[in-house]
Structure 1
Amino acid sequence: MKKPMPRLALIVLLWLGFLACQPPASLREAAPGLRVSLTYPQYFRFRGKPTLLLGGSVEDNLFQLDSLIPHLDRLQAAGGNYVRNTMSSRDPGNRWPFFRQADGLYDLRRMDSAYWARFEGFLAATHARDIVVQLEVWATFDFYREPWQENPFNPANNINYDSARSGLSTRVPSHPTRTENPFFRSVPLLDRPNATLLRYQQAFVDTLLAHSLRYDHVLYCMDNETSVTAAWGRFWATYIQKKAAEAGKNALCTEMWDPWDLNHVFHRETFDHPETYAFVDISQNNHNTGQAHWDQGMAQIERLRRQGQLRPLTNVKVYGNDGGRHQTTEDAIQAYIRNVFFGAASTRFHRPTSGQGLNDTAWQVIRSLRTLTDSLPFFEMLPRQDLLSERAENEAYCRAREGKAYVVYFPAGGEVRLKAPAAQRLRWLEVLTGQWQEGKLRPPQDTIFLQAPGPGHWIAWIEI
């Protein structure tokens, strides 16, 4: 009689068989659709290759924009491939997602065809141009203060529930950081879920996914600058991932917290939970300026690396516009370029008046960075501040593949020394004009002297 195979041996055999059936890593890396790169896990893979996402746009809820197509064409012409889209309706003339009756009240059981047609058209147009969309499911500021007075979910504005049944107030005059709208406390992960409200929230998300899961270029962010309980975002991220899996698709999710300090405990809910959040949005770091901005970004990348959880960091909002509410134009340009140099997977100029949008300055910065990074072994390079000497704070930033190529960014002119033995060629890129000029190298030595040709934003490219 033949003896049965030992249980451990059977498990090992089955596991080896499973591995044998998996496609090689090279084939998985080349598969279509938006994924985290296997080779370079700090970056996304799109259309079968690692991709740096660069963007800028005039609106956050871009699908509501009447002039969408020329705006996307302008971004594409600069080399841009990344936009933000909040599912927001708070601007004058915007559509809301639900059907509005003749009496002005909404029926949350029915959807507004024009709103969803705009969304579908936006997805189709960005997909056709290989522009990645970072989509924010819940537009936080639509649920507070004046926008809440117009929101279909407000009990005063729909036929489906009243305040008593839904637990929602008709007025929420406070800032979202106060988290005083119970709208964000409906989910089953909390002690007192609200099934009445959750039904209609789910209908909204299901309709969104019925459109977005038809495409392979969408990233999902649960909220905009949220301060609510982490259970809310975790519930919706898990829900979206499950719905995607049921459709045979993949959904990469994140959350966006309000605090500017990336060490704040809120941010740990994304940094420390790769099982839920495949990437981490760090847009609020762009409220910081100069050396502090760089140091915070680098510190989080290094922490993820040490924990074995390295994955993409996105910047869907880079603030700064002279005369605006947050930072200056100069701050915006510097932060945008530093994001690329310290290894963020994406960077995008925020809409005016809080950002540059896609004005001429933004367009040229995107164009210059795309031209540069496409010419480099960019994904093989790392931040290497240790190669710089005689450097003042915020004077210069280095990214290098040692022994092959080096780039050094000067935010405001300046001069430093770079350890780059056997350097053969030096070129300078003036970021705000896109113009190149040759630089002069002294006879080969271990350390070369770099002096920006003038004030302003310059990038030195040194080849070995």
Structure 2
Amino acid sequence: MNRAYYLNIPIILILCLLYGAKVTQGGYTDEIQPYKENSRYWQYQGEPVLLVGGTKDDNLFQIPDLEEHLNLLTRVGGNYIRNTMSARDKGNVHPFEREGNLYNLDRWNEEYWNRFERMLKLTQAREIIVQIELWAQWDFSQKSYPYSAWNPKNNVTFTRSNTRLKEHYGKIFRTKKKHDFFTSVPRLSNDTLLLEYQKNFVEKILSYSLRYGHVLYCVTNEIFEQYSPEWGWYWARYVKDMAQTLGKTAYVTEMFQSHNIRGKHHKASLDHPEIYDYVELSQNSTYSNSTRGDYHWDNLVYVHDYISAHPRPINHTKTYGDDPRAVKSFWRSIIGGAASMRFHRPNIGLGLNEKVQASLKAVRKLESLAKMWEVNPFMDLLQNRTRDEAYVAAEIGKKYVLYFPDGGSVKLNLRDEQGTFLLRWINIHTGNWGDEMIIRGGSTVSLAAPSRGGWIAVLLN
């Protein structure tokens, strides 16, 4: 089969459909990109936007009730989904056609790509930003790889002699073993045949996604610590170069499995703004980080400070855990300056359950009073605070946003701010408005949450 046939036709389609991107008054396109006034956040269609969401699955293009699920997400204020290109779950289809019992990596399964394109169309129509993960590492786990189309025993394309891929790898997670699939790039094993088909797959993804302006890219779902950063660097450059050739800009990151946010593994992204356009920090919401309150907050502040010479959006396409842990992680990150937050799928996260729906509604109520790209964390404004009791972001003298994870009371320093402030409360667990009152500046004022549970307080001058 002539591989060029598969590549040339999609690229022609791109060239035909690509150049419809509108240019805003400031010279920026209407596509998703870092906000021109505050590059820690995103803008879409020329306006700044805070990305929040929660969905019941990761490879959302594969679910049968996609349209209904997206409708629910938008009704409660969500505008952000994760989409891994995964095919390991029951009911999923693979990207390649079968020949009998084996896959042929030279022939596409049109149902897989039709589902992908449908997801792109439905999300575009609802102004939902899609963060795609090109490589679903868990499709290559001990449990899933035996059924993968990429496994040489399952396809007519690879043999033991023409690729380094093996039929069995055993357990990879939390070991020092490596799966050869993630070492194929030229500066590592340079498995030329495997790399050719990997490129084919990525180019096929881009032949659809580059027609749309609401897509962000992540190379891998949780690349493990034993792998060289060369893997992610190669694919990030590849995607960006393809986009640039076609007059587009693709914003790319990598997701690292390490829970140590300040460790060497994450530096492969933090130290390389020329490769990775934004930071993916989902692992900060893992159990070891999010249960420690202030430590979870401090990690986000650390990353913002670390990349301050080249500020970029910090995304969280996964917020792990049950209620209230996941809800607390979500809101600490919102107040701490995260550009995106999404609740992870059940049973690892809350998906889009009623608690998530309430939080998304609460975010949009908050935004009706104060935009997060207009405020910054100012924890030194708080007094009489115990650990994990309250967090604050502010535009000094104009607006203050406080988050109380579970009730509590603190003092807020308004000594240098004269006049009065309108105080509005938002109940995180219902998504409803609470009380409002007038607060006088010129002193340190006491603020007490109306009850136990999560609350947002907004003070407006």
Once structures 1 and 2 are overlaid, which stretch shifts more, 34-43 or 159-168?
Answer: 159-168
**Cα offset, 1:391, TM superposition:** 0.4
Aligned counterpart in structure 1 of residue 456 of structure 2, from 427, 448, 459: 459
CA shift digits 1:169-222 (9 cap, x unpaired): 1112213443421111111122x3011111111111111111111111111000
Length-normalised TM-score, structure 1: 0.90
Q: Is the 8 A contact 1:423 1:462 kept in 2?
A: no
Distance (whole Å) between structure 2 residues aligned to residue 79 and residue 128 of structure 1? 15
- 1:256 aligned counterpart, secondary structure: coil
Q: Residues 442 and 274 of structure 1: is their aligned pair in 2 closer, same or farther, counting only changes over 3 Å?
A: closer
Deviation digits for residues 321-379 of structure 1 (CA, Å, limit 9, x no counterpart): 2xxxxxxx111000001111000100000000010100111011011111212321432
Aligned partners of 1:362 and 1:234: how far apart in 2?
34
Q: Report the equivalent of 1:180.
A: 178
Question: Residue 304 in 1 paired to residue 307 in 2?
Answer: yes
In 2 relative to 1, CA 249–25 (structure 1 residues): closer, same or farther, beyond 3 Å? closer
The equivalent position to 1:369 in structure 2, one of 363, 368, 375, is 363
1:437/1:196 CA distance change after superposition, 3 Å: closer
Query: TM-score by structure 2 length?
Result: 0.91
How many residues in Structure 1 have an aligned counterpart in Structure 2?
A: 429
Maintained 8 Å contact 1:52/1:345? yes
Greater helix fraction, Structure 1 or Structure 2: 1
CA contact (8 A) 1:141 1:176 kept: no
Give the alignment of 1:255-270 within 5 angstroms. Answer: 255-270=254-269
What displacement does 1:438 show? Answer: 2.8
Task: Note the C-alpha offset of 1:248.
Answer: 1.5
CA distance in 1, matches of 2:179, 2:219: 17
SS of alignment partner, residue 342 of structure 2: strand
Taking only the aligned residue pairs, the percentage that are identical comes to 39
**Aligned residue identity for 1:96:** H
CA distance in 2, matches of 1:26, 1:399: 30
For the aligned residue pairs, the C-alpha RMSD in angstroms reads: 1.5
For 2:240, the equivalent position in structure 1 comes to 241
> Does 1:405 pair with 2:391?
no
Q: Where does residue 383 of structure 1 map in the other structure?
A: 377
Q: Is the contact between residue 427 and residue 462 of structure 1 (CA under 8 Å) also seen in structure 2?
A: yes
Query: C-alpha offsets along residues 378-429 of structure 1, whole Å, 9 cap, x if unaligned?
Result: 3211111111100000000001111111111100000000012333221211
What amino acid maps onto 2:122 in structure 1? Answer: A
Match of 1:5 in 2: none
CA distance in 2: counterparts of 1:25 and 1:365, whole angstroms: 32
User: Hey, what's the Cα distance between the residues in 1 that align with 2:191 and 2:267?
Assistant: 27
Matching residue of 1:208:
205
Query: What is the identity, as a one-letter code, of the residue corresponding to 2:26?
Result: L
Q: Pick from 315, 323, 336: which aligns with 1:342? A: 336
1-side partners of 2:424 and 2:30: how far apart?
35
Match of 2:48 among 41, 47, 50: 50
SS at match of 2:38: coil
Q: Is the 8 A contact 1:441 1:448 kept in 2?
A: no
Equivalent in 122, 128, 131 of residue 131 of structure 1: 128
- Structure-2 separation of matches of 1:405 and 1:130: 28
Structure 1, 254-263 or 177-186: larger mean CA deviation = 177-186
Q: Which residue of 1 aligns with 2:39?
A: 41
Letter in 2 for 1:419: N
User: 3-state DSSP class of the match of 1:375?
Assistant: coil
CA–CA separation in structure 1 for the residues paired with 2:410 and 2:144: 50
2 CA distance for matches of 1:423 and 1:272? 44
What residue number does 1:354 align with? Answer: 348
Partner-residue secondary structure (3-state), 2:284 = helix
Rg (Cα) greater in structure: 1
Q: Which runs of 5+ in 2 are unaligned?
A: 1-22
**Contact 1:35–1:44 (Cα < 8 Å) also in 2:** yes
Which residue of 2 is the match for residue 81 of structure 1? 79
* Distance in 1 separating the partners of 2:202 and 2:401: 43
Letter in 1 for 2:390: A
Distance 1:158 1:439, change over 3 A: same
1:339–1:443 CA distance, 2 compared to 1 (3 A): closer
The structure 2 residue matched to 1:98, chosen from 96, 99, 107, is 96
Aligned residue in 2 for 1:423: 420
Conservation of the 8 A alpha-carbon contact between 1:411 and 1:456: yes
Q: Is the contact made by 2:172 and 2:179 (CA closer than 8 Å) also made in structure 1?
A: no
Q: Which residue of 1 aligns with 2:14?
A: none
1:395 aligns with 2:396: no
Aligned to 1:291: 294
Query: 1:431 Cα shift?
Result: 1.1
